[in-house]
């Protein structure tokens, strides 16, 4: 097979999500003299698919984002991660099924993302707009759109990545940053399987008026990350910014909602839902809430929020750009330590492709960006023939770090999935009380050492 020769090795990145784009910038910024880089995505344009929801970026993710991105991208980060405004608290508040506080996890206050990066502790982060973050990361990136990867072929001195349109591209390293269903992972580590956690989730973005935003802020003590744990294995997660997204008549705010419940309820009830019909899906979520939650102010609020879900594409207006119809989907994950270490070779997995995790603790994007940071730092050591040693170090560290977060997220879901009787509720309250004491003790100690 004829192989084009490059002076510097060429890195091929498949997948222009947050992970792939962070790594692309990082190669250009930090490895420019050592490597060439190309990036491909199956989408046909940046607006092809829903890039959706609000996400939480923690201090580690932010630090890695700064390491990976050049000054012109960093200058635009506040478009995606706006500075906090008065009343906003980037903390998490967990309440029970009737709105009683179970846990309030405080975060340090700050004026902008730039103040988080130099911190030495992890009690700071920000709720950001994932779609805007992707837009910002697209700055200056020459993506080859419409390139759906279907596999790869290795040869003695490089690798061919194969696309559905029957084209192929040659490079020295292939980065599989192609998400949870990665064809690159399936070929490289076929035993590394996706685990279904037995929990169904319905995720939507909605726009809410000020009176509803105020009610939410008041129930959750101004925390922007909000969770209500039901006693029947269900939970209601919301994530918002208290910054209006449209000022035209009345201010409106974007909120991401995620309602989840044990999948076996749908199996047991023999529920037949048309997941291609958004209205049916939301009506189902509403009837589950009515079935699983007691009548109270919090339940009414949840029902009111779900009644605002759009059922069709209302044009390009924010926040519904690339509108995504609500569907039921299963919470799933991939634990990279569930299989023996895979071969350290030219094919490298990054982000959800290696370690998808359920969104309950908001750690997926953060791990993907940390992968980009770590892989860059390992490749900085590359001199002539020790490429495989660099990749081995990346694989070892990435697997250990991300597996910890996969398992933390998985255990959280599995713990919440079980229904609780009165005794179970008492145990839950006690656990959260102890957790609160431990968190505050840790924060007190760290603040004396690090703040
Ligand atoms: C409702 C919800 C809330 C979340 N909240 C948070 C949060 O608060 N904090 C957090 O850290 N994480 C959160 N996550 C998780 C986070 O979104 C993912 O972990 C993150 O997007 C992973 O980034 P990635 O770049 O690895 O993969 P992806 O974002 O999945 O990107 C993969 C890219 O690869 C492309 N691709 C896929 N297949 C192919 C192919 N065959 N050929 C070519 N290209 C391909 C896709 O088009 C896509 O652009 C949340 C997830 C969900 C669903």
Residue keyed to tokens 């309602």? 259
* Choice from 38, 186, 365, 405 to test ligand 1 binding pocket (greatest atom count within 8 A of CB): 365
Residue keyed to tokens 């730092």? 377
For atom 38 of ligand 1, the residue with the nearest CA is: 178
Looking at ligand 1, which atom is closest to the CA of residue 16?
49
**Residue 178 alpha carbon to ligand 1 centre in Å:** 8
**Residue 148 alpha carbon to ligand 1 centre in Å:** 16
- Tens of pLDDT, residue by residue over 72-117, are 999 999 999 999 999 998 999 999 999 999 999 888 888 899 999 8
Contact of 210 with 251, CB cutoff 8 Å:
yes
**Residue 156 alpha carbon to ligand 1 centre in Å:** 32
Q: How many angstroms separate the CA atoms of 389 and 135, rounded? A: 34
**Residue 219 alpha carbon to ligand 1 centre in Å:** 30
Quote the tokens at residue 413: 């879901």
Contact of 336 with 192, CB cutoff 8 Å:
yes
**Residue 351 alpha carbon to ligand 1 centre in Å:** 8
Residues with CB under 6 A from ligand 1: 14-20, 40-43, 53, 55-56, 147-149, 177-179, 183, 203, 258, 351-352, 359, 362-366, 368
Looking at ligand 1, which atom is closest to the CA of residue 58?
11
Lowest mean pLDDT among 118-122, 247-251, 334-338, 418-422: 247-251
**Which of 108, 237, 234, 179 is closest to 364 using CA atoms?**
179
3-state secondary structure labels for all residues of 238-274:
EEECCCCCECCCCCEEEEEEEEEEEHHHHHHCCCCCC
Averaged pLDDT for residues 407-430 = 94
* Choice from 57, 179, 200, 361 to test ligand 1 binding pocket (greatest atom count within 8 A of CB): 179
- Tens of pLDDT, residue by residue over 171-201, are 999 999 999 999 999 999 999 999 999 999 9
For atom 35 of ligand 1, the residue with the nearest CA is: 15
Averaged pLDDT for residues 258-273 = 91
pLDDT of residue 386: 87
Would you call 141 exposed, middle or buried from its count of C-beta atoms within 10 A (0-12, 13-18, 19+)? middle
pLDDT of residue 269: 81
Contact of 160 with 153, CB cutoff 8 Å:
yes
For atom 26 of ligand 1, the residue with the nearest CA is: 351
| Inter-helix orientation angle 130-137/71-80, to 10° | 160
What is the three-class DSSP state of 107? coil
pLDDT of residue 1: 38
Contact of 174 with 161, CB cutoff 8 Å:
yes
Looking at ligand 1, which atom is closest to the CA of residue 56?
8
For atom 3 of ligand 1, the residue with the nearest CA is: 359
Average pLDDT of the chain to the nearest whole number: 92
Contact of 281 with 328, CB cutoff 8 Å:
yes
Q: How many angstroms separate the CA atoms of 206 and 194, rounded? A: 29
Quote the tokens at residue 8: 């510097």
**Residue 18 alpha carbon to ligand 1 centre in Å:** 7
Residue 145 pLDDT exceeds 70:
yes
Averaged pLDDT for residues 157-168 = 97
For atom 15 of ligand 1, the residue with the nearest CA is: 364
- Tens of pLDDT, residue by residue over 165-176, are 999 999 999 999
* Choice from 14, 16, 17, 333 to test ligand 1 binding pocket (greatest atom count within 8 A of CB): 17
- Tens of pLDDT, residue by residue over 383-395, are 766 889 999 999 9
**Residue 14 alpha carbon to ligand 1 centre in Å:** 13
2-34 as b/e: b if 16+ CB within 10 A? eeeeeeebbbbbbbbbbbbbbbbbbbbebbeee
For atom 52 of ligand 1, the residue with the nearest CA is: 359
Looking at ligand 1, which atom is closest to the CA of residue 18?
25
Q: How many angstroms separate the CA atoms of 303 and 208, rounded? A: 13
Q: How many angstroms separate the CA atoms of 332 and 176, rounded? A: 19
Specify the pTM: 0.94
**Residue 15 alpha carbon to ligand 1 centre in Å:** 9
What is the three-class DSSP state of 291? helix
Residues paired with 390 in a beta bridge:
none
Averaged pLDDT for residues 424-429 = 94
Confidence of residue 3 (pLDDT cuts 50, 70, 90): very low
**Residue 356 alpha carbon to ligand 1 centre in Å:** 8
What is the dihedral sign for C-alpha 371, 374, 377, 378?
negative
């Amino acid at each position: 097979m004829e192989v084009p020769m490059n002076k510097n090795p060429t890195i091929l990145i498949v997948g222009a999500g947050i992970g792939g784009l962070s790594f692309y910038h990082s190669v250009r910024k930090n490895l420019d003299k050592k490597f060439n880089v190309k990036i491909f995505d199956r989408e046909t344009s940046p607006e092809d698919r829903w890039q959706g929801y609000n996400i939480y970026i923690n201090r580690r993710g932010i630090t890695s984002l700064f390491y990976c991105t050049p000054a012109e991208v960093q200058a635009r980060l506040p478009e995606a991660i706006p500075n906090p405004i008065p009343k906003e608290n980037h903390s998490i508040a967990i309440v029970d099924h009737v709105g009683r506080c179970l846990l309030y996890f405080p975060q340090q206050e700050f004026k902008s993302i730039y103040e988080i990066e130099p911190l030495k502790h992890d009690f700071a982060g920000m709720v950001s707009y994932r779609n805007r973050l992707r837009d910002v990361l697209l700055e200056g990136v020459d993506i080859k759109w419409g390139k759906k990867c279907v596999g790869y072929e290795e040869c003695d001195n490089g690798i061919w990545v194969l696309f559905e349109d029957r084209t192929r591209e040659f490079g020295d390293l292939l980065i599989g940053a192609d998400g949870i269903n990665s064809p690159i992972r399936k070929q490289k580590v076929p035993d590394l399987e996706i685990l279904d956690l037995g929990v169904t989730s319905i995720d939507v973005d909605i726009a809410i008026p000020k009176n509803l935003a105020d009610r939410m802020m008041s129930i959750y003590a101004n925390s922007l990350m909000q969770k209500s744990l039901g006693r029947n294995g269900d939970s209601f997660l919301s994530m918002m910014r208290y910054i209006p997204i449209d000022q035209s008549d009345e201010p409106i705010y974007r909120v991401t909602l995620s309602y989840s419940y044990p999948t076996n309820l749908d199996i047991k009830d023999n529920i037949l839902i048309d997941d291609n019909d958004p209205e049916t899906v939301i009506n189902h979520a509403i009837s589950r809430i009515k079935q699983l939650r007691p009548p109270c102010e919090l339940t009414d609020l949840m029902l009111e929020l779900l009644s605002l879900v759009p059922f069709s594409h209302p044009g390009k207006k924010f926040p519904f750009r690339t509108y995504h119809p609500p569907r039921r989907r299963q919470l799933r994950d991939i634990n990279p330590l569930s299989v023996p270490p895979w071969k350290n070779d030219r094919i490298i997995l990054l982000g959800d492709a290696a370690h998808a995790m359920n969104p309950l603790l908001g750690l997926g994007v953060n791990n993907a960006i940390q992968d980009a940071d770590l892989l860059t730092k390992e490749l900085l050591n590359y001199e002539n023939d020790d490429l495989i040693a660099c990749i081995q170090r990346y694989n070892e560290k990435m697997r250990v770090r991300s597996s910890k977060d996969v398992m933390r997220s998985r255990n959280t879901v599995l713990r919440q999935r079980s229904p609780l009787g009165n005794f179970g509720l008492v145990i839950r309250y006690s656990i959260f009380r102890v957790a609160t004491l431990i968190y505050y003790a840790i924060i007190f100690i760290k603040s004396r050492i690090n703040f």
